[in-house]
Amino acid sequence: MRSPRRASKRSWSPARRGGTSRRRARSWRARFDEVSQVRGRLGAFERNVLQTNVRSLQSSFENLSASVSSIRDSDFAVETSELTRSQILSQSAQSTLAQANFLPQSAIV
């Protein structure tokens, strides 16, 4: 079995790894700055566009709920008045029939 090669200090020097430490640090800073800019743009997009759309949709939902409630209330009022009308007509018809049935009997006596 082979023993693992020990790395010498020379094999790990920045010059052998493709550049100096300063160049890598600048590259990392540039990437960090780019990520920061993208995060800033996303935050602005969320604040300006998404939150505005959320508020608009919430307002539309509330308006729709209020409209549905109003329609249901007016439907209930119409049905209640129709029920009352039907009950009045039914009671007056029963009263008329009762009077009509009573009159012939009183005429006979």
Tell me the per-residue pLDDT of 18-69, one tens digit each, with 9 for 90 and over.
567 888 888 889 998 999 999 988 888 888 888 899 999 999 999 999 999 9
Task: Let me know if residue 88 belongs to a domain.
Answer: yes
Q: What is the model's pLDDT at position 107? A: 59
Q: What is the model's pLDDT at position 85? A: 97
Quick one: what percent of the chain has pLDDT higher than 90?
Answer: 47
Q: Is the pLDDT of residue 88 over 60?
A: yes
Q: What is the model's pLDDT at position 58? A: 97
Task: Let me know if residue 3 belongs to a domain.
Answer: no
User: Can you list the alpha helix ranges (DSSP code H) found in the chain?
Assistant: 21-45, 51-108
Enclosing domain of residue 49: 19-104
Task: Let me know if residue 11 belongs to a domain.
Answer: no
| Mean pLDDT score of the chain | 83
Q: What is the mean pLDDT of residues 80-93?
A: 96
Task: Let me know if residue 44 belongs to a domain.
Answer: yes
**Are the C-beta atoms of residues 93 and 100 closer than 8 Å to each other?**
no
Task: Let me know if residue 8 belongs to a domain.
Answer: no
Long-range contacts of 68-72 (CB under 8 A, 24+ apart): none
Task: Let me know if residue 12 belongs to a domain.
Answer: no
Q: How far apart are CA 100 and CA 107, in angstroms?
A: 11
Q: The pTM is what?
A: 0.47
Q: What is the model's pLDDT at position 53? A: 92
Total of domains in the chain: 1
Task: Let me know if residue 64 belongs to a domain.
Answer: yes
Task: Let me know if residue 51 belongs to a domain.
Answer: yes
